[in-house]
Amino acid sequence: MVTLGVARISDQGLHLIDQQLVAARRASNTQLLPRLSALLDQLGIERHQVGSVVVGRGPGSFTGVRIALATAKGMAQAAGCALVGVSTLDAIAFNAQISGVRGEVGVVADAMRGEVYPVRYRLTDQGVERCEADAVLKAPAAAERWRDAGLQLTGDGLAKHAALFSACGAPLPRELWNATGAGLVACAEAAWRGGGAHPFDARAHRPGAVLPVYTRLSDAEEAERARLAMPAPRNLVSGVQSASGARAGSMHARAAIDARQAVSGVAYRPLDADRVSSVAAIEAAVMSGDPWSEPMLASELSAAGRVWWVALAPEGADAAGESVPLDDLRVVGYAGCLVVDGEMQVLRVGVSPDMRRHGIARELLERCARDARDLGAARCSLEVRAGNASAQGLYRSLGLQAGGVRPRYYADGEDALIMAGPLPIGAHRAGGMSLRDQVSAAAANGDPDAAASVVGNARSMAAGSVEGPVRPLILAIESSCDETGAAVIDGEGTLLADVVASQVDFHARFGGVVPEIASRKHVEAICGVCEECLEQAGARLGQGPLAWADLDAVAVTYAPGLMGALVVGVAFAKGAAWAQGLPFIGVNHLEGHLHANKLGAADLRPPLVASLVSGGNTLLVEVRDWGDYRVLGETIDDAVGEAFDKVAKALGLGYPGGPVISRLAAQGNPDAIAFPRAMLHSGNLDFSLSGLKTAVTSYIGKEREVGRPLNVPDIAASFQQAVIDVQVAKALRALEETGATTFCLGGGVAANPALRAAYQQACDQRGVRLVLPPLSACGDHAGMIALVALERFRQGRFFGLDADAQARCDLERPY
């Protein structure tokens, strides 16, 4: 359902002008902006007159909420106006109140999976009073809680569960079951009248600060919590049970923390049963008078509404941990909380004395707070010893304030100071993710040409050295998987900025990308990434941050990729383009990887043959011209990057698998094990990686069964060589068939040193020009999307506001 409303604000309040409710089913991304634009045109309102955007944050359909919120974020950020986030359930209640309903009302919203979001309200002439915090419950449990309550019922959950709730009261008319524009406006006005910021205050209502209401963790996180609560012989990185019954810690090689998976040399993970004893030991050492016992801590893991995190570090307070297996790290800190009635109640926080003043307690509390937020918490409270000045200082720095005293609260008679405030998540620009500048990274990796020039432009990219922009200026966005990227390119093809926020730390503990988590993180990061990008672009032009009004177009990856990730980028980009009246450009992600080779060779021109090798794709492509492609061969099962990740997981090496396999392979013998070269002599240019992956995992299993220690470097080297042999052989065959004299490589696996070296040797022997993307440009980033967007801008090939993301697409098909 697409809900729209237009209101005028004055000192007397917000006054609804018009509203629409459109059944969009699963097409809200194609309906939202066209309907809104048409409604404003009908009312004679120009887009520059919009001073505030009000959006429902949920809870509700995850995809629908994210599309609405990402669109609203793009609109508000590009227009420089306020974004006011309100509860969708509150909007339903306000809609009933506006319609004349009074008394006790129960809103029952559909949460899918047989669950509902149930909240009770009290409706009076003065307004709406919420009686419960957001929660998600199985429908029968929610109905039992309200049994015989005599409520007036509303919400789309009644469409599925009306019979269950029949004992709870009588349903309101069906036209009151959904949020409306009037309800959203009434929510915003009530917050303002209740002491909230003015709806036009853009500083108080920043788009990046507005996030969806989920009320539960992702499925992967919930399954992880259940698994970690049970002591078992397993690999703590991959979660795979040990076939021999021995702890996976006995493997020869395991995952190590590195710069991507650790904060200042410390790794953070949810607490598992095997580490409870270590937490109890620290608890006994640092908590005077009343430490929790090991059984008490163990019981927390399976209790409802609990969130526990631990900090892990190698021996030695300042060790970098670059090659220390995760299983060998010691617990150096912990934090736990209870989430109840919309509040995060901090239960315990402790850090080993030798690891204090490393920011560990702050990071642990932020990790707990992010989970608590996803479980529906909006505020935080805790008790702290009245005499613990250092802890109180930490909590005050996190925004908590003293609000009372519990006399003689602790076992030794000391008073407890009660502190409360907002969730201690911190003011991270990109949702807790680090931002990487691709332009600077290219220069740091020894690729000054890549940082300074693409498409024949030789201007220096030192900060402030580019004299004035060359039109057009295009901002491009990439969100096809687990990287949120934004880049600005000018009319000569110079990348003025190329910023990436990586989610690898959030996915590493699951052994691969979790689509639901990826989508959530894009919503958190996208505003901050674009802000940083515009600031860097302005700095390289020797001025302040670029404004959205300085741009000539907005581009985005529309396909292929993870659908939940793509829709966030597409919705945001469309909202931004609409707000500034700019052309909207959709870009094929695979075409972006082809164009990334321009970053290493400004003079690159078709015809050529390219190999695209990544976690999701393995293709051989004939590039007859930019935009004119013929797929010569592709994988019939696993992609190359996927095979690397699966082999790494089987070896307990963690995620991502490519870099660690590559490092280990450099120490091994590539001829040690005769793994199969699938489809090497198939007579076509297709690939198959599934059989090779199965052969490697079978070899690992057999070696373990007979008790032989694994020679992991030899396994990694032999597996990698089997992949390389097939990739290079088929690439050479493609060059022969097409007559092309230039070969290119693209995708994340293009960073593999052995693969690059093999292609270099083969191309040198045959007199073929080899063009490789800079190492910094092999993975997903928005710079490659900007390169394609520049060409499409020149050709006038734009998308409409009804465009949508696509999980799959045909590279050969023009778009």
Query: What secondary structure letter does DSSP report for 687?
Result: B
Whether the CB-CB separation of 216 and 374 falls below 8 Å is answered with: yes
Confidence (pLDDT) at 232 = 58
CA distance 382 to 400: 9
Residue 751 has pLDDT above 90, yes or no: yes
User: What is the CATH number assigned to the segment(s) 608-772?
Assistant: 3.30.420.40
List residues forming the annotated binding site for substrate.
612-616, 645, 658, 752
Confidence (pLDDT) at 466 = 55
End-to-end Cα distance, the chain = 28
Count of residues for the chain? 815
User: 367 is written with which tokens?
Assistant: 């990790």
Residue 256 has pLDDT above 80, yes or no: no
For 814, other C-beta atoms within 10 Å of its C-beta total: 8
Mean pLDDT for 540-553 is 95
Confidence (pLDDT) at 257 = 47
Query: What secondary structure letter does DSSP report for 274?
Result: G
CA distance 109 to 128: 17
Q: In what order do the strands lie in the sheet with 435-437?
A: 435-437, 495-502, 483-489, 474-478, 553-559, 584-588
Angle between helix axes 657-665 and 712-738 (nearest 10 degrees) is 100
Give the 3-state secondary structure of residue 84: strand
pLDDT in tens, 510-543: 888 999 999 999 999 999 999 999 999 999 999 9
Q: How far is the CA of 795 from the CAs of 450, 589, 627, in angstroms?
A: 25, 18, 11
- Residue the block writes with tokens 């003293």: 402
Residue 169 has pLDDT above 80, yes or no: yes
Confidence (pLDDT) at 444 = 60
Looking at domain 435-572, its CATH architecture is: 2-Layer Sandwich (3.30)
CA distance 443 to 21: 51
Q: Which residues are 630's β-sheet partners?
A: 622
Q: Over 631-676, what HEC string results?
A: EEEEECCCCHHHHHHHHHHHCCCCCCHHHHHHHHHCCCCCCCCCCC
User: What is the CATH number assigned to the segment(s) 219-378?
Assistant: 3.40.630.30
Whether the CB-CB separation of 693 and 647 falls below 8 Å is answered with: yes
Confidence (pLDDT) at 230 = 85
Helix (H) or strand (E) holding 323: none
β-strand pairing of 495-502 with 2-10: unpaired
Residue 401 has pLDDT above 60, yes or no: yes
User: 213 is written with which tokens?
Assistant: 């209401």
Confidence (pLDDT) at 427 = 67
List residues forming the annotated binding site.
589, 593, 612-616, 645, 658, 752, 780
Give the 3-state secondary structure of residue 188: helix
User: 416 is written with which tokens?
Assistant: 């407890």
CA distance 313 to 263: 10
CA dihedral of 183, 188, 191, 193, whole degrees rounded to 10: -100
User: 775 is written with which tokens?
Assistant: 């190492």
- Cα dihedral across residues 187, 189, 194, 197: positive or negative: positive
User: 649 is written with which tokens?
Assistant: 């997981």
Angle between helix axes 28-43 and 563-580 (nearest 10 degrees) is 20
For 140, other C-beta atoms within 10 Å of its C-beta total: 13
Confidence (pLDDT) at 454 = 40
Question: Looking at 15-19, 28-32, 312-316, which range is the least confident one?
Answer: 312-316
For 176, other C-beta atoms within 10 Å of its C-beta total: 21
User: 161 is written with which tokens?
Assistant: 């569960």
- What residue spans define the domains of the chain? 1-215, 219-378, 435-572, 608-772
Confidence of residue 653 (pLDDT cuts 50, 70, 90): confident
Q: What is the mean pLDDT of the chain?
A: 89
Confidence (pLDDT) at 3 = 85
CA distance 393 to 387: 11
Confidence (pLDDT) at 104 = 97
Peptide bond into 472 cis (omega under 30): yes
- Residue the block writes with tokens 């390119």: 489
Q: Which fold has domain 1-215?
A: Nucleotidyltransferase; domain 5 (3.30.420)
Whether the domain at 435-572 and the domain at 608-772 fall into the same CATH topology:
yes
Contacts of 605 by beta carbon, 8 Å cutoff, 6+ apart: none
pLDDT in tens, 616-627: 899 999 999 999
Residue 429 has pLDDT above 90, yes or no: no
Q: Which residues are 620's β-sheet partners?
A: 611, 633
Confidence of residue 316 (pLDDT cuts 50, 70, 90): low
Contacts of 535 by beta carbon, 8 Å cutoff, 6+ apart: 497, 545, 546
- Residue the block writes with tokens 């090497």: 680
Give the rounded distance of the alpha carbon of 712 from its chain centre. 32
Mean pLDDT for 440-458 is 50
Q: In what order do the strands lie in the sheet with 267-270?
A: 267-270, 306-313, 330-340, 343-351, 379-385, 416-422, 401-406
CA distance 278 to 331: 6
CA distance 462 to 781: 20
Query: What secondary structure letter does DSSP report for 470?
Result: P
List residues forming the annotated binding site for Fe cation.
589, 593, 780
Whether the CB-CB separation of 3 and 184 falls below 8 Å is answered with: yes
Residue 152 has pLDDT above 90, yes or no: yes
CA distance 449 to 420: 53
User: 183 is written with which tokens?
Assistant: 């309800």
Angle between helix axes 276-286 and 294-301 (nearest 10 degrees) is 130
Comparing CA positions, the residue from 472, 483, 470 lying closest to residue 438 is: 483
For 239, other C-beta atoms within 10 Å of its C-beta total: 17
CA distance 671 to 648: 19
User: 139 is written with which tokens?
Assistant: 């429908």
Confidence (pLDDT) at 729 = 97
Question: Looking at 64-73, 310-319, 462-471, 475-484, which range is the least confident one?
Answer: 462-471
For 331, other C-beta atoms within 10 Å of its C-beta total: 22
The maximal CA–CA distance of the chain, rounded, in angstroms, is: 86
Contacts of 204 by beta carbon, 8 Å cutoff, 6+ apart: 82, 197, 198
